Amino acid sequence: MTVVIEGADRRAAASADGIDLLRPADADAVAALFAACSPETVRLRFLGGAREFPRAHLDRLLAGPPAAHDAVVAYRGGRDRLVGIAGFAADDTAGPGTGGELGVLVVDAWQRRGVGTAMVGLLLARAGARGVEHVTVNVPHGRRGLLAALGRRLEPVRASYTPDGLTAVYKVARTTRAAGVGTQ
């Protein structure tokens, strides 16, 4: 299932061949994506110095149904050449389907081309279609730009500082179809 990106995310379609759901066959391509990222990109995504994509996290993304772990990839030149991965991990501590955490990793050469925006847009639309109410994002200190970008798209609920950075929660717009436009 290759997703056709419409509207504001069209620029991502021009820079990547496609955005698709993560599949078990993508495990090696995710490892190659991780290896193509700079240590700074890895540090900002994983809030530390991981040497490889965390295996337990990847296993959950590959095995989980969308309601538990939804993930998409962006690729260029074939499915074995990933330029980004984004995931939404459900947090059922507040009740089933009420919220989850968003994570995005885009290889350095493809950052600021709309790839992350397109992947996040698709994940949020899919989460909204499942009835998810909130999304949580954790960023290191100095990365408020990412939160500001989400704040232009979603309604902020709350933010808090932690020793590692900033945690923000946003209201997810309900959608009528998985790849549709959100409506409140």
pLDDT tens digit string along 62-93? 777 777 888 899 998 878 888 998 988 887 66
Give Rg (Cα) of the chain: 15
Query: Would you say residue 179 lies in a domain?
Result: no
**What is the arithmetic mean of pLDDT over 5-10?**
36
pLDDT digits (tens, 9 = 90+) for 110-161: 888 888 888 988 988 888 888 888 888 888 877 766 777 788 888 888 888 8
Band of pLDDT at residue 5, cut at 50, 70 and 90: very low
> Model confidence at 181, in pLDDT bands (50, 70, 90)?
very low
- pLDDT, the chain, mean: 76
CATH code (residue 87): 3.40.630.30
Q: Is residue 118 part of a domain?
A: yes
Q: Decide if pLDDT at 39 tops 50.
A: yes
Predicted local confidence at residue 48, as pLDDT: 66
- What pLDDT is recorded for position 74? 92
Residue type (1 letter), 72: V
Residue 108 lies in a domain: yes
Q: Residue 104: pLDDT above 50?
A: yes
**Would residue 48 count as lying in a domain?**
yes
Domain assignment present for 151: yes
Identify the domain containing residue 148 by its residue range.
Answer: 2-171
177 within some domain = no
* Beta carbons of 91 and 101 less than 8 angstroms apart: yes
State the maximum Cα–Cα separation within the chain, in Å, rounded to a whole number. 41
pLDDT (average), residues 15-27? 81
pLDDT classification of 94: cutoffs 50, 70, 90:
low
Q: Which two tokens stand for residue 89?
A: 């991990």
What is the side-by-side strand order in the sheet with 99-106? 2-3, 18-21, 69-75, 82-90, 99-106, 134-140, 165-171, 155-161
In a domain, 183, yes or no: no
The pTM assigned to this predicted structure is: 0.78
pLDDT at 38 over 80: yes
Rounded to an integer, what distance in angstroms lies between the CA atom of residue 81 and that of residue 3? Answer: 17
State which amino acid sits at residue 16. A
In the chain, the number of structural domains is: 1
Question: Is residue 90, in this structure, part of any structural domain at all?
Answer: yes
